[in-house]
Structure 1
């Protein structure tokens, strides 16, 4: 007995995980995707750079290949939790020198500056196939990147930049990738193998990929050579559910140790009263109705007054209080209200004001030439009608908004599609669509300027909105020091409405009371930290 016990201690010591971690307590934590942020959706890819820019994919990727910089729940860089030890900025504020911590790959090889340069090279080669093309003006914003030594990277911006923006929106995207293993792969090969476990055998994150079953689950095993905070739970698994009801059922039966209650199931929270709770506002996120400016049948979306009318007609108080049970905030612009770190003074007033105004909406439609004829808005012999698409998670709010618009004489056809179908539609410029509800989580663009989202050439400007004024203001917010330029951009976005802004639903996170570290695991920026989870001692 004594010999076996010593052997176990030695074995676990070699793994780099404390022996108490697995002694007498469960070795697995099971959860799902988008905890504290949104209803669950599946992971479809886990190879960085060429993955679709979806939150579940990003969650999986950051567990395997964490970004160099860690942005915490306070929206500040926490160097203790990232791969970077320090950052030096040149006098002209265009050259950034990153000093890396001693870090290892899961095969024991050192992580080097060359692995970071390799990541930038891949992003450049991917071009518009890069997951966050245009966000942070990537990759064009980087003039040069070079390794000055084994653990020193020098990155020079192509133009004058706001230092805060460059760190939070550009450097925040970068990570080390295993050059030794991947240097022979083309971008085409990576795209074709974006969900191939063989691609991610060597990682530098807290967990390695153990198994992946498309449409069912992704399972991770603790990386014993992880250079950061050592995991104490051996296995971490994210299961995929197609509905909030299925997730709630798994939470109720104990299949999930961490889950959440979405707004439509809030009244049933007493059924899991044995679990601990963390209420969230839904993350540092923006919920929007994207409007396709390219479609000739809905050319009226290009009219400022029509968009302003549609926004004014949305009953946000009803959505927040009835659908979301108060776990949300009003949204009248691109910058989230919770936390209010980057809200302009004007935006703060708007958040506190009541802008739901169907009378003003009707007047704006009249001014735009859309008159009410027998209960229907008409102009030049055409009726004001369009199709609104939403994933099942947003079907309830879509119905409320459609009723709001129909009360003004606008005909709205609702169509429910899977989340994956909608993502595929948005990123296929040959696809025909008119309006789609889709969220955006501010990461890796933690400083919420609109580059990549609302500028004319933005890679995630899926509706092709274009405004020279907004383009100038977005550019200024990335260039000028301070936050005044950011404020001017967000105030203009409220007025110009590149999309329609609606509240993002909050979530009530529920978890097993025997589980600790959940507050560090959940992050409003969508970055999972399973290495901080632990089971409390039975005693």
Structure 2
């Protein structure tokens, strides 16, 4: 999930959210923090006796609740709670029944036929049908929609998705058809082993065509212009809201499984404010910044939650000529102390990242020489902190550029944690690379997404959370002109290796992983990005929060099976 950044996916304000993908900011912080304290207290006071209610903070506003347009963790988190696709993730990231009861796959792996349940309805009472999936998927790749994730998730997977998304074919040519109201037939471009898990992702959610078209430009901008077909309904929300609620959807086909009556959310951008609310009993979970970890590490409610999200510096090769130089990029990627970042700045269990595939995410398949071993272990450390080597690359780069000074702008979120991270990186780069001047630009989370998409930055603190359990979810980010590349990187050899994993090697998992290993090495030989850390979240969480599943991809938290236990 892009966790855009899941890729996102996932910036440093994430420390202040209930998860990954993306961070918050200080723009309007006083108002947001004050509202959070007052609002959360108010929600607790209005909860009636006997209700099963949990209260949480969120690191920023929700940028979009439109499944075709969402690109970030916040959007996908709340889409996952209020909507349901063909399948949803259960324990151990295994797909479980959603709108689909089962499916069949043709012998060649190209045709998937899903049998849908007939008792699923939208929150307005309309049945959820195969036509809703056809409409939603076509809408996601229709170039008029302007979706980032539709083309990204479907191209090379769903038949004709690339041609449709580029305007070379009509949307009706997309390989998805309704065979009656409750049978969905999907044709794939190539066999895709992870397609079942892909159907759990937010971009593949259904949409009620009549409702969407009635709402027009207002669709998904407020609670009144949304429909739910999942465990919860989003209430009291507008696109600029600093508070909202998830309320049990009584129309959900499996409503009897859902035990929570309500979850309340308040935008809180300052970690200390979240902790104050937690200590007051107003909220049930509070992410901790590094200074608070030292204070609360011995607290009985202290927990560390490992994640599979990777944070890194994107280096835009198109806006600043210095970053078009491989030696300059290689210098930057080696010139900051990552151990200090994870141990002192983050101080929350995060790990140093020396590659793009996270640790404990994917293992080499049976038949490989290293079968069963973790991908990260086999691939090794591809770029490490090394000031001496960084300066060697730097001197070569400056000589090639014919200059002795370089000025770069570092773009990041405006939350407290993001600012500290940005200041540290700017100081490290300027100190360790003589002649480099780094200026900081901190903006609200949603603006950072826009600047990233527009490629209006030099250096960008970015992050990515996986969309499915396969290295391809990370490595396809850097394909030439890819929807999530947005930094001008291009290497035909890299493209060939990655594209082969979804075409001629699609059914040969051993060969696929060999390509993944080789491609990751090329990515860092080219110094395309500078990895920083693999995320973990340190937080205080009430013991009464029970049954919450933490997903390795997609929405970080699954609340369908959550409940309120005893806090004693």
- TM-score w.r.t. the length of structure 1 is 0.81
Deviation for aligned residue 1:437: 0.5
| Offset of residue 469 of structure 1 | 1.8
Aligned equivalent of 1:360, options 358, 365, 389? 389
2:234 paired residue number: 209
Aligned to 1:105: 122
Report Cα offsets for 1:450-474 as digits up to 9, x if no partner.
5762112211222222221222122
With over 3 angstroms needed to count, the CA separation of the structure-2 counterparts of 1:359 and 1:487, relative to structure 1, is: same
Question: Is the partner of 1:465 in helix, strand or coil?
Answer: coil
Task: Provide the rounded CA distance (Å) in 2 between the counterparts of 1:247 and 1:448.
Answer: 36
Aligned equivalent of 1:510:
540
What does the per-residue CA deviation read over 1:188-244, in whole Å, with 9 as the maximum and x for residues that have no partner? x34x543222221x3111111221152411212111121236322211122112222
Aligned to 2:17: none
If the length of structure 2 is used for normalisation, what is the TM-score? 0.77
**C-alpha distance in 2 between matches for 1:27 and 1:83:** 26
Contact kept, 8 Å, 2:304 with 2:537, in 1: the verdict is: yes
* Displacement after TM superposition at 1:136 (Å): 2.8
Secondary structure in structure 1 of the residue aligned to 2:467: coil
Name the residue aligned to 1:486.
516
Counterpart of 2:441 in structure 1 is 415
Where does residue 225 of structure 1 map in the other structure? 251
Determine the structure 1 residue equivalent to 2:108: 92
Instruction: Describe the SS at the equivalent of 2:391.
Output: helix
Would you say how many aligned residue pairs link Structure 1 and Structure 2? 487
1:169/1:446 contact within 8 Å kept: no
User: Deviations along 1:324-348, whole A, 9 cap, x unmatched?
Assistant: 3361222122212143447987741
Distance in 1, matches of 2:291 and 2:470, equals 29
2:303 matches 1:286: no
Equivalent in the alignment of 2:208: 178
Among candidates 403, 406, 416, match of residue 381 of structure 1: 403
Matched, 1:198 2:224: yes
Alpha-carbon contact 2:479-2:495 (below 8 Å) kept? yes
Answer yes or no: is the 8 Å Cα contact 1:294–1:464 preserved in 2: yes
Cα contact 1:257–1:511 (8 A) shared by 2:
yes
Contact 2:88 2:200 in 1 (8 A): no
User: Does the 8 Å contact 2:212/2:219 carry over to 1?
Assistant: no
Gaps of 5+ in 2: 1-46, 161-174, 365-371
Identify the match of residue 136 of structure 1 among 141, 147, 153. 153
Q: Which residue of 1 aligns with 2:190?
A: 160
Q: How far did 1:256 drift?
A: 0.9
Could you tell me which residue of structure 1 aligns to residue 182 of structure 2? Answer: 151
Deviates more, 1:406-415 or 1:24-33: 24-33
User: Deviation digits for residues 309-366 of structure 1, max 9, x if unmatched?
Assistant: 2112221122122223361222122212143447987741565688221111112223
Tell me what 1:10 maps to: none
Residue 248 (structure 1) aligns with: 275
2:66 is equivalent to residue 47 of structure 1: yes
Q: Is the CA contact (8 Å cut-off) linking 2:550 and 2:558 kept in structure 1?
A: yes
Is 1:390 equivalent to 2:412 in the alignment?
yes
Residue 386 of structure 1 and its aligned partner are, at CA, apart by 0.7
Query: For 1:451 and 1:132, how far apart are their aligned partners in 2?
Result: 16
Give the stretch that moved more between structures: 353-362 or 456-465: 353-362
Aligned to 1:500: 530
2:35 aligned residue: none
Report if aligned partners of 2:468, 2:553 keep a CA contact under 8 Å in 1: no
Q: Report the equivalent of 1:302.
A: 324
Contact 1:454–1:465, Cα closer than 8 Å, also in 2: yes
CA 184–195 in structure 1, closer or farther in 2 if over 3 Å, else same: closer
Measured at CA, do residues 47 and 300 of structure 1 come closer, stay the same or move farther in structure 2, by a change above 3 Å?
A: same
Shift of 1:447: 5.0
Q: Bigger CA drift: 348-357 or 126-135?
A: 348-357
1: CA distance between counterparts of 2:67 and 2:477? 20
Matching of residue 462 in structure 1 with residue 486 in structure 2:
yes
Q: Which has the higher Rg, Structure 1 or Structure 2?
A: 1
Change (3 A) 1:118 1:134: closer
Counterpart of 1:280 in 2: which secondary structure? Answer: strand
- In structure 2, the partner of 1:534 is 563
The CA RMSD over aligned residues, in Å, is 3.0
Give the Cα separation in 2 of the matches to 1:134 and 1:167: 18
Structure 2 CA distance, aligned partners of 1:268 and 1:326? Answer: 12
Aligned 8 A contact 2:333 2:529 in 1: no
| CA shift for structure 1 position 513 | 2.3
Which has the higher mean CA deviation after the structures are superposed, 316-325 or 124-133?
124-133
Does the residue aligned with 1:164 lie in a helix, a strand or coil? coil
